[in-house]
Amino acid sequence: MLHTVERIGSFAGLASFLGLAVFALLLFAHGRDIRRLRDWAGSAPEREAERMEQTQNIAAQRAEELRELEESRTAEHEAVEQREVRRQRREEGLPEQTRGERIRERFSGFGETLSRPALLVVLFLVFVLVAGGVAYAVLNNGGSEEVKGGGHSNKNGKQAASTKKVKPDEIEVAVLNGTEATGLAATWGDKLEGKGFEVGAITNTTSTFENSVVMFENGAAPEAKMVAKQLQIHKVQPMTAEVSGVSNGAKVSVVVGEDNVPAES
């Protein structure tokens, strides 16, 4: 009896151990499934978006491959047609390419060359250098012109200074009587000679002048001012045609007006 109990107890223990092992395996599998469900529930939207993005990328790549394949087929078909056209033109004794085709081919090659980044950088640098050179030249020319202008001013100043240094006997002055009084031009001619001026023509004007005036031809304004200062005549102006016609070539003319007629006349 005891021996039978021991045998049953051994089988029961072995069965219990096997059952515990099976239970542990089931528990482990259950926990793994629960963890997978939690991971799937937590990351399902992201995975869906990722799958959609991958699908779109694959579709875009496929579309690009199809487009490139279509372009290559079209280009090949056009090349075949061009070769056929050129062959026909050769058989007819004509150039393989028309003038328009040659021009388009040259411009297309030029456009491809311009599309290169290195060439674009070189062209940009050349443009900057040319623009800088033009700006520098313009600025220098402007400065040169200013300097030249200053030189002209200095030259004019020297001419004015040299004119001021002209001696009275080097200035020919015509004396005109612009009044009805007689002998007035001769009297003022004597005054000019007394002050060292060279007296030219002494005559009358066809019209009368109320005020005395010293007139001058172009370029003789400083001499006229010198004469006016010596004679105390305040009015100086360019020579009129009437006065020039009777001045006998003199650059400066003194017209004696009514304001300088003596009271006894």
Q: What is the pLDDT along the chain (265 residues), one digit of tens a residue?
A: 666 766 676 767 777 777 777 877 888 788 888 877 777 665 556 666 777 788 888 988 888 999 888 888 888 888 888 788 777 777 777 666 666 666 766 666 555 555 567 767 777 888 888 888 888 777 765 444 433 444 444 444 444 444 457 888 889 999 999 998 988 999 999 999 999 999 999 999 999 999 999 999 999 999 999 999 999 999 999 999 999 999 999 999 999 999 998 876 4
Strand partners of residue 150? none
**The overall pTM is greater than 0.85:** no
> Residue 28's Cα: distance from chain center in Å?
81
Kindly give the pairing relationship between strand 213-216 and strand 252-256: antiparallel
Return d(Cα 117, Cα 96) in angstroms, integer: 33
Kindly give the pairing relationship between strand 172-177 and strand 198-204: parallel
Asked whether 200 and 248 are in contact (CB, 8 A), the reply is yes
Burial class (CB in 10 A: 0-12, 13-18, 19+), 255: buried
168-260 CATH: 3.30.70.2390
Strand ranges for 147-233 from DSSP E: 172-177, 198-204, 213-216
Give domain limits for the chain: 168-260
